[in-house]
Structure 1
């Protein structure tokens, strides 16, 4: 924007992510509907130019990767058409929990899963978030076993993402509480086993505690990597509106509390990012006088929207401009879907928009 003196600001692009070859995990998150999936896909497309193998993972229950790439993407890494080194996968945490419980039933030697289900129901009600934490550990175990140089996570809206980051704390509390209540849970398993014809209670108890210890070990290891700015960064995505900017500030503060590096903000759906409202208004004043009344009204509404966006973009630079790479992405007159359009649009993430106009 012409009003901003950006001479001393960080570069307004995500080129810093491309240049940081040590990065292994890149999270993309923000309020619902701000363009997280498009940003994730575009970032993945740019990383694929420089990395040997790139994976995009959707952890949002409302998956959009298939729609963005215009091809079916499943639970396993799916090669993306038009690339030879970019894959994507869509994870369903509920399915992961069901498969994990099935494997535990098989290991227990029981033909009935009622005992395990009863225990999981008790754990979930006693320790909120433990089911999500266990699902996430299964996901990370799967992703870490794959041979990818960098993984881009297309995350769920902010609240869900922050719960994900709190899993290490949840597991620490859960294990402490479980050890205190070991006898109680052992009795619960025994009752369930007797009632439903399950396997050996002691075996089931040890198996559950073992699984939780494994979950804690995986998540603690993952958390250490997530708190290493050489390995992990979080890209905050927003649009130039009050609620989105407010949510971004909350996200940035929470990421800081969790020790997660965050120094990139993408502002999507920007009207004419290379011009400010005053400059655009002068041009319109010179060229719209002869237009029909309806066209003038349309221009007036567009200008009102542009002024509103400029206000919030200004606030964004005031809040983050000294420390964050703030990247403005233009609002287009078409949907960014399909590999060709994503590749083309992704260039805006890397080539800084001229804020001098």
Structure 2
């Protein structure tokens, strides 16, 4: 199985015809996978890809959870069913659940910060650790997800910058807490405690921080384990998307995160009498050729641009089949005319 983490093609040697097959079958076969992140530039079809991937996983796994961590949640629109911060069974499935959450503390997710303030009894100490606000909220999300015991969790993430910040939280917090705990904790806690009147002792507060550090360390180890975690970049055959995909893969490599698959959406398969389609495909072909050179040691799955919008379980199910059975460019794909 490929566990590529760089876009540099391996020099020399013969590659078996199926080693880097243009499908997600390798992900379906890898039963040890626990976390699958799907991300990329805005507008490239991340949510459609996430939903389609989750549908295929539901065929081979006991239980699948699809989570949106994008503040502009789209899972409800994609499936035509309202989802909340609690897992809900997707209509028509027995083992596929969805939920929409905000993993960072902001005005739309005050409950996370409320929990964290209770945890420390005063926010001054918490805020003195770099990235603690995001990290603690992220930790709460991970605890929640882990307690649900789904066999695999798919994350429909926000655009690239937000996603990279989210994934870097475990490493950043690990360093931040280590630096913080190297200082004179008793002196810090006593000083701040006298100011804000906290009732917790330095030992209690240090135990809380140590517990948080342990949770983050566990998540960090899992994220860097290619048997448990992988990231699936999604792009379209255009310059900005290709550029951002390459940047994303390089950053994921620095984070020691596994990347095996790339999904290329919105590929035009022109009809003979469509001049605009032919011109568009000619432009796309240049970037498809570049991807072929850059990502020859990845599973690159090419998905067609369809005439109809991909919404609702029936349409998503049809589209999801193309992730495992590569489109030949000739077969006409007919989606249901109405999805509600």
Give the TM-score normalised by the residue count of structure 2.
Answer: 0.84
Unaligned runs of 5+ in 2: 1-15, 332-340
Q: Which residue of 2 aligns with 1:209?
A: 206
Residue pair 1:38, 1:342 contacting (<8 A) in 2 also: yes
Aligned length: 313
TM superposition shift of 1:86: 0.3
TM-aligned CA distance change 1:173 to 1:22, over 3 Å = closer
Unaligned runs of 5+ in 1: 1-5, 109-114, 194-198, 273-279, 289-298
TM-aligned CA distance change 1:40 to 1:222, over 3 Å = same
1:264-304 deviation line (CA, Å, top 9, x unaligned): 000001101xxxxxxx6xx83xxx5xxxxxxxxxx333222
- The correspondence for 2:111, drawn from 87, 94, 99, is 99
TM-aligned CA distance change 1:101 to 1:306, over 3 Å = closer
Greater Cα radius of gyration, structure 1 or 2: 1
- Other structure's SS at 1:266 match: strand
Q: Which residue of 2 aligns with 1:87?
A: 97
Structure 2 counterparts to residues 17-96 of structure 1, below 5 A:
17-93=27-103, 94=105
Residue pair 1:12, 1:325 contacting (<8 A) in 2 also: yes
TM superposition shift of 1:334: 1.4
Residue pair 1:97, 1:135 contacting (<8 A) in 2 also: no
TM superposition shift of 1:146: 0.5
TM-aligned CA distance change 1:222 to 1:326, over 3 Å = same
Residue pair 1:97, 1:131 contacting (<8 A) in 2 also: no
Residue pair 2:67, 2:100 contacting (<8 A) in 1 also: yes
- Other structure's SS at 1:166 match: helix
- Other structure's SS at 1:251 match: helix
Question: Structure 2: how far apart are the matches of 1:328 and 1:229?
Answer: 23
Structure 2 counterparts to residues 208-227 of structure 1, below 5 A:
208-227=205-224
TM superposition shift of 1:118: 4.1
TM-aligned CA distance change 1:104 to 1:228, over 3 Å = closer
Q: Which residue of 2 aligns with 1:330?
A: 304
Q: Which residue of 1 aligns with 2:228?
A: 231
- The correspondence for 2:275, drawn from 296, 300, 305, is 300
Richer in helix (by share) = 1
Question: Structure 1: how far apart are the matches of 2:133 and 2:164?
Answer: 15
TM superposition shift of 1:10: 1.5
- Other structure's SS at 1:333 match: coil
TM superposition shift of 1:234: 0.9
Indicate yes or no: 2:200 matched with 1:188.
no
- Other structure's SS at 1:336 match: coil
Question: Structure 1: how far apart are the matches of 2:159 and 2:35?
Answer: 18
Give the TM-score normalised by the residue count of structure 1.
Answer: 0.80
Indicate yes or no: 2:321 matched with 1:351.
no
Task: Say which is worse superposed, 214-223 or 61-70, in terms of deviation.
Answer: 214-223
Question: Structure 2: how far apart are the matches of 1:319 and 1:303?
Answer: 24
Indicate yes or no: 2:290 matched with 1:315.
yes
